[in-house]
Structure 1
Amino acid sequence: MSSPVAPSPSRVPFPGTGRVAVVTGASSGIGAATAERLAAEGFEVVLAARRLDRLTALAERIGGRAVELDVTDPASVAALAASLDRVDVLVNNAGGAFDANPVAEADLNSWERSYDVNVLGPVRVTKALLPALTASGAGDLVFVGSTAGLVSYEGGASYTAAKHGVHTLAETLRLELVYDPVRVIEIAPGMVRTDEFSLNRTGSQEKADAVYRGVREPLVAEDVADVISWAVTRPHHVNVDLLVVRPRAQAAQHKVAREDG
């Protein structure tokens, strides 16, 4: 465990003071929306993802910096860390779901991919950037988890198991870093309609559309970005341990109001 440090005698100003925020999975969805929102809040944003063409276009629009990153590749993560002089905020957003199979029909390749992207990826990036977050004197380590990491449900256990891993990762780090100047924040969204998440999971646009059919106002990426921005701009002694955010139409994983019944 890290040794205790004396509390800072003064608050670190938020935001607009040159604080650097790294957002993984920033080429689309929640990651892209978060990068845009943090840039608007005055952060210097480093957008990291595999699809450099998308990153570059967004980075140019918001005044950020695009860095190609594959969270499953240790060399790629090391290159990201080596390119950064300062990190104040890390948003571990890269992740995804890759099937909706029951356990009896599990595709183990999908399970391995899900664990590598959702769990080992954040571990790699966190381990690489944690020294810089600590050196900042007021670091924010954010995990974009899911309500799937809190409640299990039928179908797609490869994803729910991985997101349970993200949840316990955040909990463990909060214990291990309690003497260090780093907050550990977990944001757990419920139903969020984005262009790619359900499409990647189901493999067809028709099935992806069916997930949200009849649901009045599911969350969108900008809603989650708003929550992330709020959490990292609280005074640094305020730690948002876990914030669950769902659309009003979703009372629980299994209870969703649909207008078509």
Structure 2
Amino acid sequence: MSRPIAVVTGASSGIGRATARALADSGFEVVCAARRTERIEALAAEIGGRAVTCDVTRPEDVAALAAAAGGEVAVLVANAGGAIGSEPVAAADLAEWRMMYDTNVLGVAASIQALLPALVAGHGVIVTVGSVAGMVAYEGGAGYCGVKAAVHSLMMALRLELWDQPVRVCEIDPGMVASDEFALVRFHGDEAKAAAVYAGVREPLTQEDVAACIAFAATCPDHVNIDQLVVRPRAQAAAHKVFREDG
């Protein structure tokens, strides 16, 4: 018996990779999509899925991903994205902002557009990985907060637009997650700055914690829509208020 198809973008690391594993454990055949071919091929072999090399900022890649996924898709996890830079607005590198917008917003929209017919056919669910950064801005975060706020608006509009279609629209908004690459990429490989983000926080979220939330949203009964799920570690009362044991 064939397994329902789930597509995960940004599956080569972090939350995307953990989500591919969680959905495979839930019985899906996972199409693992990302730019780093070697990584997704290894992941697909591990979980019995398929690998599709895909840069979500390239229309031809997104079209090829939709073709590879087939005519019926049960789950799309539009996860590809990330943060770059932490400078204040006055000193921000706007090229980095464009890169974030291209991936986090336009890449999400392109993935949804390309796969929507198959999601309608499969009575599927669209899950985006947002962030609490899209809900409350902070110093040095204008670029990243802006793109995640845009994703939130995209999903709210999509939910209204698809109200009469057999497709669920879900947004998962994590707080502090100690994933394997997120902070390191944001700080351009500066390991000390990346480590400082989590300093003194006993238990930030793991990428597996977020993947479990995504799998939950994806496997709810067909009539149940998780519009928005905000998940933070217990130590983080708000985006700006984190308990650190070292003071």
Q: TM-score range by the shorter chain?
A: over 0.9
1:132 equivalent in structure 2: 118
Q: 2:149 aligns with which of 151, 164, 172?
A: 164
TM-score, normalization by structure 2: 0.97
Structure 1 CA distance, aligned partners of 2:209 and 2:69?
28
2:63 equivalent in structure 1: 78
* Matched residue SS, 1:199: helix
What one-letter code is carried by the residue in structure 2 that aligns with 1:253?
A
2:18 equivalent in structure 1: 33
Alignment of 1:84-123 (within 5 A): 84-85=69-70, 86-123=72-109
* Matched residue SS, 1:83: helix
Runs (5+) with no aligned partner, structure 1:
1-15
Q: 1:177 aligns with which of 149, 157, 162?
A: 162
What one-letter code is carried by the residue in structure 1 that aligns with 2:182?
F
2:37 equivalent in structure 1: 52
Instruction: Report the CA distance between 1:209 and its aligned residue.
Output: 0.2
1:154 equivalent in structure 2: 139
Q: Is the 8 A contact 1:17 1:43 kept in 2?
A: no
Deviations 1:132-182 (A, max 9, x none): 00011x210001000011111111211100000000000000000000000
Runs (5+) with no aligned partner, structure 2:
none
* Matched residue SS, 1:141: strand
Q: Is the 8 A contact 1:115 1:162 kept in 2?
A: yes
Please tell me the root mean square deviation across aligned C-alpha atoms, in Å.
1.0
Structure 1 CA distance, aligned partners of 2:63 and 2:216?
29
Question: Percent of aligned pairs with the same residue?
Answer: 62
- State whether structure 2 residue 229 is matched by structure 1 residue 229: no
2:225 equivalent in structure 1: 239
Q: Is the 8 A contact 2:5 2:69 kept in 1?
A: no
* Matched residue SS, 1:154: coil
* Matched residue SS, 1:244: strand
Q: After TM superposition, which residue ranges in structure 1, 4 or more long, deviate above 6 angstroms?
A: none
Instruction: Report the CA distance between 1:83 and its aligned residue.
Output: 1.7
Q: Is the 8 A contact 1:17 1:42 kept in 2?
A: no
Q: 1:193 aligns with which of 142, 157, 178?
A: 178
CA distance 1:45–1:235, change in 2 (3 Å): same
Q: Count how many residue pairs are aligned between Structure 1 and Structure 2.
A: 245
Instruction: Report the CA distance between 1:17 and its aligned residue.
Output: 6.4
Structure 2 CA distance, aligned partners of 1:38 and 1:79?
22
* Matched residue SS, 1:118: helix
TM-score, normalization by structure 1: 0.92
1:9 equivalent in structure 2: none
Alignment of 1:56-71 (within 5 A): 56-71=41-56
Deviations 1:184-233 (A, max 9, x none): 00000000001110001112011000000000100010000001111111
What one-letter code is carried by the residue in structure 1 that aligns with 2:74?
D
Instruction: Report the CA distance between 1:84 and its aligned residue.
Output: 2.2
